[in-house]
Amino acid sequence: MWLLAFDIDEQYDKIYRYCFLKMRHKETAEDITQETFLRYLEHPQYHNTDKTLQLLYTIAGNLCMDEFRKHKPQELTDEEASAENMEDSVISDIDLRMALSKLSEEDRELILLRYINEVPVSVMAKLYNISRFALNRRINRVLGMMHEYLGKEELI
């Protein structure tokens, strides 16, 4: 039996938050997260690589895209809307949430991955298929926009 080279509970939570951010639906995010790990575990060739985190995010992102293609957006029920409060608990400052809401979905994803899920820049660069330097410039641009929205000297 082989051992996973990462903390599965920690990575599971990070992948769930990533899926929830993209899907905005608790049960769908849970299903996609489970499917992500099942697909990862089904392929032994993935286990002997140092790209585990990148593979998990790639699988999760592809499954989210597949889910979007299957279903048209629907209105949230009260129960589902209360599930959205999970993101609110992660980002508690109302000013920060307002600044984040002004960003594009992709820019919010960058901030979530880098500062909430603490994904290393090298993994994110591979995930977005850009250089680490280009990714750093992009993150700095997004932080600059947030600085402008917040009117504060320091962020994260």
pTM value > 0.85: no
| Structural contact between residues 16 and 117, judged by C-beta atoms closer than 8 angstroms | no
Q: Is the pLDDT of residue 1 over 50?
A: no
Provide the pLDDT for residue 94.
64
Q: What percentage of the chain exceeds 70 in pLDDT?
A: 76
d(CA 90, CA 87): 5
In the chain, where do the E strands start and end? none
Instruction: Tell me the per-residue pLDDT of 131-144, one tens digit each, with 9 for 90 and over.
Output: 999 999 999 999 99
Q: Which of 141, 152, 151, 64 is nearest to 103 (CA)?
A: 141
d(CA 83, CA 99): 21
Q: Report the pLDDT averaged over residues 74-85.
A: 54
User: What value does the mean pLDDT of the chain take?
Assistant: 79
Provide the pLDDT for residue 132.
93
Helix (H) or strand (E) segment spanning residue 110: helix 105-111
DSSP helix/strand/coil, 114: helix
Instruction: Tell me the per-residue pLDDT of 47-58, one tens digit each, with 9 for 90 and over.
Output: 777 778 888 999
Provide the pLDDT for residue 76.
54
User: How many beta carbons lie within 10 A of that of residue 84, not counting itself?
Assistant: 13
